[in-house]
Amino acid sequence: MKLNYYPETDSLYIDLSEKPSVESKEISEGIVLDYDTAGNLVGIDIDNASKKVQLKELTLTRIPSDIRAVAT
């Protein structure tokens, strides 16, 4: 899973899978879910993210894998 924040558009994309998105559905204003060919959720796009999500802190609890931080 990858979280990508784009400050120039104030959008946050949560990439849940390496599979490509083939269908998107807006479930509420500025929140779009992306699905693969099998109908599985592969990503979440949040517009105006700074108004909808607490971006200053990320807390991970009991994640069963390695955690890698990449700062740009």
Residues 17-37 pLDDT 10s: 999 999 999 999 999 999 999
Average the pLDDT over each of 4-8, 38-42, 56-60 and give the range with the smallest value.
56-60
Residue 46 has pLDDT above 70, yes or no: yes
On whether residue 65 sits in a domain, the answer given is: no
**What tokens does 62 get?**
């009991």
| β-pair type (41-47, 2-6) | unpaired
In this prediction, residue 65 carries a pLDDT of 76
In this prediction, residue 41 carries a pLDDT of 98
Residues 2-11 pLDDT 10s: 999 999 999 9
d(CA 29, CA 1): 23
On whether residue 66 sits in a domain, the answer given is: no
On whether residue 68 sits in a domain, the answer given is: no
- Spell out where the chain has E strands: 2-6, 11-15, 23-28, 31-35, 41-47
On whether residue 14 sits in a domain, the answer given is: yes
The total number of structural domains that make up the chain:
1
Q: pTM score, two decimals?
A: 0.83
What domain range is 22 assigned to? Answer: 2-52
On whether residue 43 sits in a domain, the answer given is: yes
On whether residue 64 sits in a domain, the answer given is: no
